[in-house]
Amino acid sequence: MTPGDPRRAASLLDVPTAHATVLGEVGPRIVRGDLVEGAVITPDWIGETYGVSRTVAREVVQVLVSMGPVESRRRTGIRILPRAQWDDYDPAIIRWRLDGVHRLRHLHELAELRAAIEPASAALAATHADAEQRAEIVRIAEQMEVSGAAGDLQTFLEQDIEFHRLLLRASGNVMFSGLGDVVEGVLRGRTEHDLMPKQPKRGGPPAPPVVAEAVAGGEADVARYAMTAIVAEVVSDLGHPR
226 and 198 both lie in a single domain: yes
Alpha-carbon distance 51 to 41, whole Å?
15
187, part of any domain: yes
Which pLDDT belongs to residue 157? 92
> Are the C-beta atoms of residues 70 and 61 closer than 8 Å to each other?
yes
242, part of any domain: no
210 and 178 both lie in a single domain: yes
116 and 197 both lie in a single domain: yes
Which pLDDT belongs to residue 219? 98
Which pLDDT belongs to residue 179? 93
Kindly report the CATH number assigned to the domain that includes residue 168.
1.20.120.530
- Domain range for residue 139? 101-237
The 3 state secondary structure assigned to the chain is CCCCCCHHHHHHHCCCCHHHHHHHHHHHHHHHCCCCCCCEECHHHHHHHHCCCHHHHHHHHHHHHHHCCEEEECCCEEEECCHHHCCCCCHHHHHHHHCCCCHHHHHHHHHHHHHHHHHHHHHHHHHHCCHHHHHHHHHHHHHHHHHHHCCCHHHHHHHHHHHHHHHHHHCCCHHHHCCHHHHHHHHHHHHHCCCCCCCCCCCCCCCHHHHHHHHHCCCHHHHHHHHHHHHHHHHHHCCCCC
Domains: count for the chain: 2
Which pLDDT belongs to residue 111? 86
Alpha-carbon distance 52 to 55, whole Å?
8
191 and 105 both lie in a single domain: yes
Model-level pTM greater than 0.85? no
167 and 193 both lie in a single domain: yes
226 and 113 both lie in a single domain: yes
131 and 42 both lie in a single domain: no
> Are the C-beta atoms of residues 87 and 68 closer than 8 Å to each other?
yes
> What is the pLDDT tens value at each position of the chain, 242 positions in all?
444 444 444 444 444 588 889 999 999 999 999 999 999 999 999 999 999 999 999 999 999 999 999 999 887 889 999 999 999 999 899 989 988 888 888 888 888 899 999 999 999 999 999 999 999 999 999 999 999 889 898 999 999 999 999 999 999 999 999 999 889 888 888 888 776 666 655 545 568 999 999 999 999 999 999 999 998 888 777 766 65
Last residue of a domain, one of 50, 85, 120: 85
User: By C-alpha distance, which of 240, 230, 107, 104 is closest to 167?
Assistant: 230
